[in-house]
Amino acid sequence: MTNFFKTNLLLLALASTILSCGQFKVSHEADGSKYQVHESGKGKKIKQGDLITLNLVIKASTDTVYEDTYKRKQPLTIVAQKGLYQGSFETALMHLTEGDSATIFVSADSLFTNIQQPLPPGISRGTDVKFIVKINSVLTREEYQKSQELKRKNESKLIEDYVKKNMPGAVQGQGGVYYQVIKAGSGETIKANQVATIEYTGKFIDGKVFDSSVGKPGPKFEVQVGQGAVIPGWEAVLAMMRKGEKALVVIPSSMAYGEQGSGGVIPPFATLVFEMEILDVK
């Protein structure tokens, strides 16, 4: 037998072994769930009511990507519960384990019929939508609440240390916001419904800039104060500022984007530091 045939027979035997292995098998459950485990985790089985933190990529059968939490750098946290229809993504999750990497196949017809939306471009009738998941953690409600409380306590300590080191004489305002005047303004403090023109730079507590209006072309950033158009921490600070004033501000996550974060830019429990200047008040 030539080396060519020997090599190909070896490859076929290897492929047969891999395909027969359970972790590559597509499972079909009585509840309509259809999934394929790529890597088995060693954590606990998901139960009704657990809090699941996971990364998720959603693809059409053509591999067009519709969602990718890795790119947003922000995993999802959802409550484990059975779905409303046979073969739903939510129901299939209940068959997985902490640490699993898997693909869940959901009928496009069933999915979009149940959310009462037409099939989007790139998804055809009779095909499956692929939900590629990595189960990062599985916590009971009690465990989740304890973990959130610990994160809050850690954030409070970080803020106290930062203010002590960088903002001597800072004033603590509503909701735990810290405020230090860099340049004094004039006139009365800004009142509700007035429009403030603001220049700002936003940083994380480690100094990394995530947003800034400084040097940007076009009109300056304006906000009508007291209308909920900005995060609560900004509302609290603006009510203390005057025209021409410049301040350094520390805003705890509870007065910013909380435990969810925002848009893949602001992570959960992120303390925000702003340098803000009021250019005008109308």
Catalytic residue (one of 89, 257, 266, 269): 257
Q: Residue 129 and residue 141: Cα distance in Å, rounded?
A: 30
Q: Residue 279 and residue 199: Cα distance in Å, rounded?
A: 7
Catalytic residue (one of 104, 231, 266, 278): 231
Which residues, other chains included, contact 64 with Cβ-Cβ below 8 Å and sequence gap of 6+?
122, 123
Catalytic residue (one of 112, 200, 204, 221): 200
Catalytic residue (one of 85, 112, 204, 210): 210
Q: Residue 273 and residue 258: Cα distance in Å, rounded?
A: 15
What are 19's two structure tokens?
A: 């395909």
Q: Quick check: is 274 catalytic? A: yes
Closest CA to 90 of 79, 76, 77: 79
CA distances to 33, 80, 266 from 67, in Å: 21, 20, 18
Burial class from Cβ neighbours inside 10 Å (0-12, 13-18, 19+) for residue 94 reads: buried
User: Are 141 and 52 within 8 A, CB to CB?
Assistant: no
Q: Residue 91 and residue 175: Cα distance in Å, rounded?
A: 40
Catalytic residue (one of 18, 24, 66, 211): 211
Q: Quick check: is 24 catalytic? A: no
Q: Quick check: is 210 catalytic? A: yes
Catalytic residue (one of 50, 128, 274, 278): 274
Q: Quick check: is 211 catalytic? A: yes
CA distances to 181, 199, 221, 274 from 212, in Å: 19, 8, 10, 9
Known catalytic residues are: 200, 210-211, 231, 257, 274
